[in-house]
Amino acid sequence: MEEELISKKDLLEKTGISYGQLYRWKRKNLIPEDWFIRKSTYTGQETFFPKSRILERIERIQMMKENLSLDELAEMFSPGGGKLVAKEEVIKRGIASEYVVNFYIEQTNNHENAFPFDTVLEIFILEKLLHSGEINIEESKMVIQLLQDYFGKAFQTKDTQLWLIRKFGISSCFLAKKTEELQFEKDTKVVSTVDFMTCSEELKIKFL
């Protein structure tokens, strides 16, 4: 199923932003280049956008632009980050509890004193899932293994989600593009859906 699109004209009217704002945010990499989709219409070439993603992104920009510069927002929306984060800082900043950090270390055999951003994001996602009570310990081990195997490659696509499903007490997890429409067998329960970019943005706020 194709993702629903919104025209540039309708986008500007719906959000109340100007043409200049839209393209300034594009130049600052707040809105990805590949979201600007050129299509032929009866009036000629027009620009369209993935509707749900562009509306969500503009809403977030408008919410945060009073407190952050455009450069800070661009960093917020970019995947990954350069600096290493000490284990103690992960706990101190409320990114994850000591229990979850130690559990992650035990499962991955990662005994480094500092973690790159992608690893901190994995720990943050694990904390959110366990803290919510949505998954149990065995399911969390499955999630960690999936992230260890595929997270780096998946996160580079920017629009990837982690799905955890359960049927008759048997759990499974997988990664899927945000734009995909998924169909499940009868009696399958969607336990949790985690959007990588949303979690990345939430995590980066903790370092401000």
pTM above 0.85, yes or no: no
**Nearest in space to 48 (alpha carbons), one of 77, 74, 22:** 22
Per-residue pLDDT of the chain (208 residues; tens, 9 = 90+): 467 899 999 999 999 999 999 999 998 888 888 889 998 888 778 999 989 889 988 998 898 888 888 887 877 777 655 568 899 999 998 999 999 999 999 999 888 888 888 889 999 999 999 998 888 999 999 999 998 888 666 555 567 889 999 999 899 999 888 766 788 889 999 999 898 888 888 888 787 6
3-state secondary structure of 88: helix
Which residue's entry shows tokens 């025209």? Answer: 7
Look at residue 18 in the predicted model and tell me its pLDDT. Answer: 93
162 and 193 Cβ atoms separated by less than 8 Å: yes
Look at residue 81 in the predicted model and tell me its pLDDT. Answer: 57
Is 134 exposed, middle or buried (CB count within 10 Å of its CB: 0-12, 13-18, 19+)?
middle
Look at residue 99 in the predicted model and tell me its pLDDT. Answer: 94
Look at residue 53 in the predicted model and tell me its pLDDT. Answer: 84
Look at residue 103 in the predicted model and tell me its pLDDT. Answer: 94
Helices in the chain by DSSP H: which ranges? 8-15, 19-27, 51-64, 70-77, 87-92, 98-108, 117-132, 137-155, 196-205
Look at residue 77 in the predicted model and tell me its pLDDT. Answer: 74
Look at residue 58 in the predicted model and tell me its pLDDT. Answer: 92
Look at residue 152 in the predicted model and tell me its pLDDT. Answer: 62
Look at residue 12 in the predicted model and tell me its pLDDT. Answer: 94
Look at residue 95 in the predicted model and tell me its pLDDT. Answer: 92
